[in-house]
Amino acid sequence: MQNNINYKRKKRKIKNQKKIIVFSSIILGIVVIGALSTQIIFKKNETAKAIEISKTEGDKNSSIVKKEDDKNTSVVKSNLDNYGYLSADEDPVADDAAFVEKYLYQQNKGEMPEGANGHKVAYLTFDDGPSTNVTPEILRILKEKDVKATFFTLGKSINESETTKEILKQQVKDGHAIANHSYSHDYSYLYPNRTVNTDNFMNDIEKSNDALRAVLGKDFVTKVIRFPGGHMSWKGKDAIDEKLKDGGYHYIDWNALSGDAEGKHKSAAELIEGVKKTVTGREKAVILMHDTNQKEETAKALPEIIDYLRSEGYEFRTIK
């Protein structure tokens, strides 16, 4: 009997031990699963964080690359081999040649120009230079008066000497506009029988462009031209007009002048009166003058011409 009781007790003990083992296993499993879940969540969070950091760094790097690209683009633009010459869009004192050309054309036809807006503008233009004596004096006066002008240069004048080439550079450095007035200024070559020879004219323009690029750099461009003697003076212009249009050129005549190339030699006082007379009633005045070595009186007259135009409410601008 006693043995039977002991056997039952032993059997219950073993059963209880098994229950404890099973329960402990369950608890251990729960702990392990929890730990694994925590680790998975942690790794998931770390991965997400890494992705976010990577994205942020990527955006940052993209921004840096973009800034570098923008910087490089700017450098490319500023490194144009053109002696720093500004386009009409970049130059705050320049008007587009297309606007001035159309304004003069419509005015010459007796129409109301599209650009007529009540604002008075004077475009000082000088033909046939640069010269070694007069152009430097004109540049000095313009700088003293804080005025910019447009120089219609001749290729042959540019190639006259190293001095004239340096003067051309000074014109650009001072912020003036540079335009093309042909290479030779030879009427018999450009306009035989007073009729425009299209091939000769374009060859002369390109030869002058070559002279400009040789001094100011291979990237220098001007699409502003003035016919020697003026566009209005010659016959047979349809072909050349079409050629110029195809090449993106704009020709600029004038509607006022000092008279320094008209008739007899004039004094500074007479040149001043010439400007006063011809700008009367002009809202946009394109004033013809010259800066060759024989035009000392033009340089003498220039300060008073500028003062007069300012007193009449004109703003000085250039043509590009």
d(CA 161, CA 180): 18
Tell me the two tokens of residue 163. Answer: 């001095």
Summarize the confidence of residues 77-87 as an average pLDDT: 88
pLDDT in tens, 243-260: 999 999 999 999 999 999
Phi, psi for 319 (deg, rounded to 5): -120, 120
pLDDT at 208 over 80: yes
- Confidence band (pLDDT; 50, 70, 90) for 11? very low
Axis-axis angle for helices 198-216, 238-246 (nearest 10): 30
pLDDT band at 78 (very low <50, low <70, confident <90, very high): low
* Most confident listed range (45-54, 75-84, 197-206): 197-206
Q: Collapse the DSSP code of 195 into the 3-class scheme (helix H, G, I; strand E, B; otherwise coil) and give the result.
A: strand
Task: Please state the rounded mean pLDDT for residues 41-67.
Answer: 42
String of b and e for 75-96 (b: at least 16 CB within 10 Å)? eeeeeeebbebbebeebeebbb
- Rg of the chain, C-alpha, whole Å: 41
Q: What is the pLDDT of residue 59?
A: 44
What is the enclosing helix (H) or strand (E) of 198? helix 198-216
Angle formed by the axes of helices 296-311 and 268-279, nearest 10°? 40
Tokens 């004096």: give the residue.
Answer: 137
Tell me: pLDDT of 56 over 50: no
Lowest mean pLDDT among 12-16, 97-101, 166-170, 299-303: 12-16
**pLDDT value for 17:** 53
Which tens digit of pLDDT belongs to each residue from 296-305? 999 999 999 9
Buried b or exposed e, range 213-226, using 16+ CB within 10 angstroms? bebbeeebebbbbb
- Listed by start position, the domains of the chain span 1-79, 94-319
Question: Of 3.40.50.970, 3.30.1280.10, 3.40.1010.10, 3.20.20.370, which CATH number belongs to 94-319?
Answer: 3.20.20.370
Q: Which two tokens stand for residue 231?
A: 């566009």
Check residue 81 and report its DSSP letter: S
